Amino acid sequence: MALPQAVIRPAVPADLKAVADINAHYVTNTVITFEETPPTVADWHRKLDELTGRGLPFLVAERSGEVVGYAYAGPWRPKPAYRHTVEDTIYLAPGHAGRGLGGALLGELVARSSAAGLRRMIAVIADAGDDRSVALHRRFGFTEVGRLAEVGYKHGRWIDTTLMQRALSPHQNRS
């Protein structure tokens, strides 16, 4: 039986409980995020306001009325000269990987970030022993630019990260 097509759309406040629940699963059970305490729904409201206030995309994947994934482009670094570079974040609800949702979210995130006049997108991928995230980013034109050894410690182990990047808008960035 085929699954209904996912709708990729901008996140709204009503989505943030589901976003918080998806994220909490990864914070609590995995090393793919370096968060150690799950952000609250109120934290997610602040994140949505901050990102949309900066003109940055925050998206959800919805299937049959249920939020089954999210993605956003956040500032790469706080210093002003980095304002044209963003870092992507993508998470899928448990049980929803391998269905094209990550690619749908990343493709729309890249398109919307490019349309916003951003210049580069960075991916910081924790090495959790699963190459799916690296492979997904490669399919969307990201190239590996470095590896940071043992930069995170979570659940009793040291974790490396892989750094990847891709160009976005070919247009001159606004200052």
Q: Higher confidence at residue 62 or residue 130?
A: 62
Provide the residue ranges of all domains of the chain, joining segments of one domain with +.
7-167
Tell me what percent of the residues of the chain surpass a pLDDT of 70.
Answer: 94
Residues 16-36: tens digit of each pLDDT: 999 999 999 999 999 999 999
CATH architecture of structural domain 7-167? 3-Layer(aba) Sandwich (3.40)
86 pLDDT band (50/70/90 cuts)?
Answer: very high
Residue 77 has pLDDT above 50, yes or no: yes
171 pLDDT band (50/70/90 cuts)?
Answer: low
Residue 148 has pLDDT above 50, yes or no: yes
Q: Which amino acid is at 89?
A: T
Q: What is the pLDDT of residue 35?
A: 95
Residue 156 has pLDDT above 90, yes or no: yes
Residues 99-144: tens digit of each pLDDT: 889 999 999 999 999 999 999 999 999 998 888 999 999 999 999 9
Starting at the edge strand found earlier in the chain, the sheet holding 85-92 runs 7-10, 58-63, 66-75, 85-92, 120-126, 157-167, 143-154
Phi, psi angles (nearest 5°) of residue 25: -60, -45
Give the helix/strand (H/E) hosting 60. strand 58-63
Q: What is the pLDDT of residue 1?
A: 41
Q: What is the mean pLDDT of the chain?
A: 93
